[in-house]
Copies of this chain bind each other. A is one copy, B any other.
Amino acid sequence: MTGVDDRRQARVALTWLAEPGTRSVHRLVHQLGPVAALDLLLAGGAPERALRAAVAARTATGDARAVAAEALARGDRLGARLVTPEDDEWPPQVAALRNLVLPDATRRVDVETDPPLCFWVRGAWPLDDALTRSVAVVGARAATPYGSHVATELGYGLADREWTVVSGGAFGIDSAAHRGALTAGGRTVAVLACGLDRPYPMGNAALFDRIAETGLLVSEWMPGAEPLRPRFLIRNRVIAAATGGTVLVEAAARSGATQTLNRALGLGRPAMVVPGPVTSAMSVGGHEVLREKPRSRLVAGVAHVLEEVGRIGDDLAPLARAPERPRDRLDDDATQVLEALPRRRPIDLESVAARAGVDLRTAMRKLSMLEELALVVRRDGGYALAPPPGDGG
């Protein structure tokens, strides 16, 4: 009797016996299926001594299948569903973790980086849909006002362009990115390192509730699981693997915040860094990555991020047709006049001239020319920038 429910229960039990990412467990599941893999482990048949010891220690405290059954019931009460590779909404891109090899990996968290066995999910959308067009925005908890500002702007801009903003729900950069996406009315996913019923940090509980309402809360760990320190590092591989690219906003020197970015690099995904003042300790980590990892890429805003992750025509097109824009041929006065114009509410001729630093006559001549080039529109007796082509407005 190895029905769907047994397989689901077995996957949950396996994440209780050994931390997610453990390579030998994943390999057993791959070879035998989750139920037989669990049977083997519980019978003391783990291929490695360390894993055998871990399983023995765990099973001394409880029955793995009973723990998993209880977790599934607890998930139901909580409104969290279990998603496994057998489900339609499983995000296939996390399978890339099978081939992740980190250079100079010696720590357990850098070696045991296999794909998740299952996800717990709170929120309305299918997990795969939410992650198809997604970008991770990560960074330090001890963010500066500058970093928080930039992360909020990135979160807002990405969500506004219908990209899902994925982060880890921590204070600082993570929270700012989530909040920016929420402010844009967009989608955001928090990948947590503990059970979905014990949001960590507690101070973000209200934020997690908002995320669950319009986005998703996701975790590899069963309800009730504690946010143990190594779990944040184990979790980071999922953030890198589930998304189209990772942006690091702020990180201190040699800090854990650069770890997700290194995983993105290891997976061949775009690994992006927002630079900052060289006088800021919180920009040292990002600058180090930019100096040491030739494949990492400096990004200064949403447009740069989309250039890296935008495999979809819509996002790349405006950049590709840059060379032949009429505004590239404008003379200095015309450029100044154009740059003096607001995008929304029109301003009158005198204001244009004053802001552009040209005389009235020049302003008028250049405005007529810019109107002919469809770069400027007259509206309400004033002048404003024309909406970009294809804006539909």
Contacts and interface: CB of A to CB of B under 8 A. Distances in A.
A277 interface: yes
A298 interface: yes
Contact of A300 (B146, B149, B284): B284
Given A146-B279, A279-B150, A298 B287 contact: yes
**Most chain B CB inside 10 Å of its own CB: which residue of A291, A298, A301:** A298
Contacts of A294: 294
B297 A291 contact: yes
A176 B275 CA distance: 22
A278 B274 contact: yes
17 contacts: A146-B277, A149-B279, A275-B275, A275-B276, A275-B287, A275-B290, A276-B276, A276-B277, A277-B277, A278-B300, A287-B298, A287-B300, A290-B290, A291-B297, A291-B298, A291-B300, A294-B294
Contacts of A300: 278, 283-284, 287, 291
B275 A304 contact: no
A289 to B, nearest CB: 10
Nearest to A300: B278
A50 to B, nearest CB: 24
Interface string A280-293: 00011001001100
Given A146-B279, A274-B278, A298-B298, 8 more contacts: A150-B278, A275-B276, A275-B283, A275-B287, A275-B298, A283-B300, A287-B298, A291-B304
Contact of A290 (B277, B278, B284, B298): B298
Contacts of A304: 291
A312 to B, nearest CB: 21
Contacts of A297: 291
Nearest to A146: B277
Max count, chain B CB within 10 A of own CB: residue among A277, A294, A297: A277
Smallest CB-CB A-B distances: 7 pairs: A275-B275, A278-B300, A287-B300, A290-B298, A291-B298, A277-B277, A276-B277
Contact of A278 (B284, B287, B291, B301): B301
Interface in A303-358: 304
A290 B297 CA distance: 9
Q: Identify the interface centre among A149, A274, A275, A304: most chain B CB within 10 Å of its CB.
A: A275
A157 to B, nearest CB: 12
A301 B278 CA distance: 7
A243 to B, nearest CB: 21
A149 B280 CA distance: 13
A20 B297 CA distance: 38
A301 B294 CA distance: 19
**Most chain-B Cβ atoms within 10 A of its Cβ — which of A278, A290, A298, A301?**
A278
A234 to B, nearest CB: 21
Contacts of A284: 300
A283 B283 CA distance: 15
Contacts of A274: 278
Nearest to A144: B277
Contacts of A277: 146, 276-277
Contacts of A287: 275, 298, 300
A180 to B, nearest CB: 14
Contacts of A291: 297-298, 300, 304
